[in-house]
Chains A and B, each alone.
Chain A
Amino acid sequence: MTVTTAERPTIAVRHLLARIGRYTFLCLVLAFFALPLLWLATAPFDDTPTVTASLPRFTLDNFRALLDNPYALRSLLNSVYLAAGTAALVVTFAALAAYALSRVRVPGRDALLYGLLLLSSIVTGTATMVPLFELAFRLNLIDSRLGVILILSGGLLPAAIFILKDFMDSTPASYEESARVFGASPLQIMRHIVVPLVRPGLATVGVWAVANVWGNFLVPFLLLRGPDKAPAAVIMYTLYTEGGQADLRLLSTFSLLYSLPVALMFVFVSSRYGFRFHGGIKR
């Protein structure tokens, strides 16, 4: 190496400083990301919750506030309904479309896929809230949960088709060929051979769709009137913006309960598959 003995100590010092700098930085990062989350961890269990995060005097009584509020638990059910409906629609329609695109040569297929992907990334709910509202109004889908499901599905489908087509392309066609030799119909082949083969892909798309819908605020906020049908995202917002002093018992426990499913899903996905980007995104 080119390092002389006289230079070595300064380099050692520099490395030590770099090390200290790195740990200081990581501690600051930890503090920055943990600080807002502290309240979510402490307030639900504090017998007198305030907006300050502090060590709680432990109690579970706050969760009773959830039962007292007429909309809290119902809104979570509404969220489940919207998420399940959208995920079912997206997985089914995307799987059918992706299979057709993967196995049958459609003219201009790649252009179509890229076009759809481009469309779904530029036509966002925020940029098209005006026509979406209009459209829902004309189609009689205002204050309809089906309307929310359809609009969300339309937005998620292109990317879902794209992901699933990749999965379908990488499964060998030989199973389908032999099933066909034994006289299975295309739908039977789809159900008994293709679906089991691409199940990880279907699960990925399903989880991704649920996570998207679970947190979506804008579309149900625009389309659903009144708190009966509103999902947790909207009820959460009304809990701290409407009606004077916010009930922090209700707010904190509701936040926790509403966040729990996505947090659990994340833990499950990351422990099972590892939550990071692999080769796919690199090229």
Chain B
Amino acid sequence: MAQATSPPDELVEGARPVTGASPAPDAAGLGRARATGFLVPAMVLILVFLVVPAVWTIWLGLTNYRLTGLAAASPEIVGLDNFTDALGDERFRTSLLLTLEFVLGSAVIGQAGLGFAIAFALRDRRGPLRRVVEGLVLLSWILPSSVVAFLWIALLDRDAGTLNALLGIPGMAWLLDYPMLSIIIFNTWRGTAFSMMLYAAALENVPRSHLETARLAGASTWQQLRDVVFPRIRGHVLTNLLLISLWTFNDFAPFLITAGGPEQRSEILPVYVYKVALSGGELGFGAAISFVMLLINLVIALVYLRLLGRRKESA
């Protein structure tokens, strides 16, 4: 095989011709052909199950494809009809707004806010209290979503739920009367761990002496946060907000609790797509919505990568 990438001084085995020098340290004598062979299995899987679906989303979104019926046999290109239909659809716009509410409420305010507050409250603590708090927060993050979904259904149960028993208000139907609030609080509970850990790591970058000086000078907690802590962790805050927004935007777990109901009042986009495309069979229309979701994901991810790149340059 061609040994295109070996440096000339590695001609130990002699038999292999070296056809070109490259600065890469191909220490094991892999060679370009074998290296390509090493790459192929992973790339094929990624191509088939990531690239193709992305491209296909665009194609499906441009056709009137359906699971059954006439359009199932020979789908026609309907151009941007699906997108204009989606944007003109009351249910889609409502769903988009609910998703925005879900992301802002549970990720930006809930997870990031609570995660930072916990990390800040625990910043100079070691010992059992910190371990217990962190352990519980992490546990709610790692348990399987269909289990935690039922835990919340049980907690919020109208007649026998633990919450109503504690508050002494039996008969309060949280999931029916306040479905959005319920899934927002659920997702805050579910995902705070990531923000907490990220801010805990970030706060270790803030020199303790600076905080101490500010405290002795009589700065309030809020002033310390604004003037000492925040300027040093700005990058972490941005990273955190973008990542948890992306994850929350794509979160399917609320389906397990409210399934979008009652009366579509908690129907965020992932649930909406599932209902329209896979339960309802309107694949073309569902794909148009998926395409809008992909675009939103792309924008969030690009902003994130930009920020990463900028910080790498300045570092």
Question: Which residues from chain A sit less than 8 Å from chain B, CB to CB?
Answer: 1-3, 7, 11, 14, 18, 22, 25-26, 29-30, 32-40, 50-53, 89, 92-94, 96-97, 99-101, 103-106, 114, 116, 118-135, 150-151, 153-155, 157-158, 161, 173-174, 176-177, 179-181, 183, 186, 189-190, 193-194, 211, 214-215, 217-218, 222, 232-234, 236-237, 240, 251, 255, 258-259, 262-263, 266, 270, 275-278, 281-283
Inter-chain contact B50/A119, CB cutoff 8 Å:
yes
- Determine whether B30 belongs to the interface, using a CB cutoff of 8 Å to chain A: yes
Do B29 and A180 have beta carbons less than 8 Å apart? yes
Task: Given the known inter-chain contacts A51-B160, A120-B50, A126-B251, please indicate yes or no for A215 contacting B145, CB distance below 8 A.
Answer: yes
Please judge, given known A-B contacts A128-B290, A134-B56, whether A37 and B161 are in contact too, CB under 8 Å: no
- CB atoms of B297 and A124 under 8 A apart: yes
- Among all A-B residue pairs, the 10 with the closest Cβ atoms: A154-B49, A105-B24, A173-B27, A131-B56, A122-B297, A100-B38, A176-B27, A104-B35, A215-B144, A97-B42
B residues adjacent to A (C-beta < 8 A): 5, 10, 12-13, 22-32, 34-36, 38-39, 41-43, 45-46, 48-54, 56-57, 60, 114, 117-118, 121-122, 129, 132-133, 136-140, 142-155, 157, 160-163, 165-166, 189, 197-198, 200-202, 205, 216-218, 220-221, 236, 239, 246, 250-253, 256, 270, 273-274, 277-278, 283, 286-287, 290, 293-294, 297-298, 301-302, 305, 311-312, 315
Closest Cβ of chain A to B61, distance in Å, is 9
A105 to B26, CA, bound (A): 8
Q: How far is the CA of A133 from the CA of B298 in the complex (A)?
A: 21
Knowing A126-B273, A129-B274, A218-B252, the reply to whether A151 touches B49 (Cβ < 8 A) is yes
Complex: A132 Cα to B246 Cα, angstroms: 20
Complex contact A157–B216 (CB within 8 A): no
Residues of A within 8 A of B287 (CB): 130-131
Report the separation of the CA atoms of residues A121 and B294 in the bound assembly, to the nearest whole angstrom: 10
Q: Is the CB of B315 within 8 A of A283?
A: yes
Cβ contact within 8 Å between A234 and B146? yes
A93-B41, A124-B297, A259-B144 known; A177 vs B151 contact (CB < 8 Å) = no
Shortest Cβ distance from A150 into chain B, in angstroms?
A: 6
- CB closest residue in chain A, given B284: A130
A166 and B88 alpha carbons, distance in the complex (Å)? 47
Complex partner residue of B150 from A134, A174, A180, A251, CB under 8 angstroms: A251
Residue in chain A with minimal CB distance to B220: A14
B161 neighbours in A (Cβ, 8 Å): 51-52
Residue numbers in A under 8 Å from B166 (CB-CB)? 35
30 A-B pairs in the complex with CB atoms less than 8 angstroms apart: A1-B216, A2-B218, A11-B218, A35-B155, A51-B162, A52-B157, A52-B162, A96-B38, A96-B42, A97-B39, A97-B41, A105-B22, A121-B301, A122-B54, A123-B50, A127-B294, A130-B277, A150-B48, A157-B46, A158-B50, A186-B28, A186-B31, A222-B278, A237-B146, A255-B151, A258-B147, A262-B144, A263-B143, A276-B200, A283-B312
Is there an interface contact between B142 and A266, defined as CB atoms closer than 8 Å?
yes
Q: Which residues of A contact B315 (CB under 8 A)?
A: 283
- Chain A nearest CB from B243 CB (Å) reads 9
Minimum CB–CB distance from A54 to chain B (whole Å) comes to: 8
Q: Which residues of the partner chain B approach A99 to less than 8 Å between Cβ atoms?
A: 30, 38
Residues on A with beta carbons closer than 8 Å to the beta carbon of B277 = 129-130, 133
Report yes or no: B117 in contact with A123, Cβ–Cβ below 8 A: no
Whether B144 pairs with A233 at a CB distance below 8 angstroms is: yes
Pairwise interchain contact B162-A123, C-beta atoms closer than 8 A: no
Q: Which of B10, B42, B54, B298 contacts A180 (CB 8 A)?
A: B10
Q: With A and B bound together, what is the CA distance between A40 and B144 in angstroms?
A: 12
With A127-B250, A282-B205 given, is the CB distance from A275 to B138 under 8 Å? yes
Q: Are A122 and B305 in contact (CB under 8 A)?
A: no
B30 → chain A closest CB, angstroms: 5
Contact A36 B189 (CB under 8 A): yes
Chain A residues within 8 Å of B202, by CB: 282
Contact B147 A236 (CB under 8 A): yes
Contact A93 B45 (CB under 8 A): yes
Identify which of B26, B60, B146 contacts A130 (C-beta below 8 A): B60
A-chain residues with CB within 8 Å of residue B256 when the two chains form the complex: 217, 237
> How far is it, in angstroms, between the C-alpha of A270 and the C-alpha of B130 when the chains are bound?
14
| Residue with the greatest number of chain B CB neighbours at <10 A, chosen from A131, A153, A190, A277 | A131
Q: Identify the closest chain B residue to A99 (Cβ).
A: B38
Q: Do A130 and B290 touch (CB < 8 A)?
A: yes
Minimum C-beta distance from B47 to chain A (A): 8
- Residues in B neighbouring A33, C-beta threshold 8 A: 133, 136-137, 139-140, 189
